[in-house]
Amino acid sequence: MSFLEWIKQPWPWYIAGPMVGLTVPTLLIIGNKSFGISSSLRHVCPACLPANIPFFKYEWKKEIWNLFFVVGIFFGGMIAVNLLANPEPMQISTKLTAELSGYGITDYSGLMPNQLFNWPALLTVKGLLMIVFGGFLVGFGTRYAGGCTSGHAIMGLSTLQWPSLVATCCFMLGGFVMANLILPFILSL
């Protein structure tokens, strides 16, 4: 097996997790930056539409590193899918595929379910809920909580902060409720 074939396989958690964890010291050492991604969504607000809101009155230009970081994530996604894509279909739990087939989801060719997330879906109630309303909850909730999976679950827990543990537990609780109790209704729309 060549190096390229080897690296094109899906990476196991024990490789990916430590690499994500190493982002914490990397950002601290290269510029004293606390790892956190949802802040990037905040910095766009004062840059585009500050509207005299106190929460957006800060020098966003000083935080521009965060926007460079997320632009990097975008390009990373592009490189990975174009140069390092896994030729095999994704291995998904048979329990999940059985459940999803009940909602007519049968296409597992992409990392995202193409049948749910596509442009024409925006004209359906299901699509609006999943693409637009879901995104709104992510943006509103992360800022309300003061961070997301990176800022609270990874950076916050790495620095042993109990408020981040509370936040992380709430993220998981919200996710369990949605995936198991509410999403079935949305998917059957």
Partner 1 sequence: MQAFKENTDFEVRTLDAICVNDSKLTHKWYHNIKYLFVGLVFGIVFVKAEIISWFRIQEMFRLQSFHMYGVIGSAVVVGMISVWLIKKFSIKTMYGEKIEFHPKIFNMGQVYGGLIFGLGWAITGACPGPLFAQIGTGATVIVVTLLSAIAGTWVYGYLREKLPH
Specify the residue, 173 or 188, whose C-beta has the smaller distance to partner 1: 173
Question: d(Cα 9, Cα 2) in Å, to the nearest integer?
Answer: 11
Specify the residue, 92 or 125, whose C-beta has the smaller distance to partner 1: 92
Residues whose CB falls within 8 Å of the CB of residue 74, separated by 6 or more in sequence, listed in order:
none
Q: How far is the CB of 188 from partner 1 (least distance, A)?
A: 14
Q: How far is the CB of 88 from partner 1 (least distance, A)?
A: 12
Q: How far is the CB of 3 from partner 1 (least distance, A)?
A: 14
Q: How far is the CB of 87 from partner 1 (least distance, A)?
A: 13
Kindly provide the b/e burial profile for residues 68-79, where b requires at least 16 CB atoms within 10 angstroms of the residue's own CB.
ebeeeeeeeeee
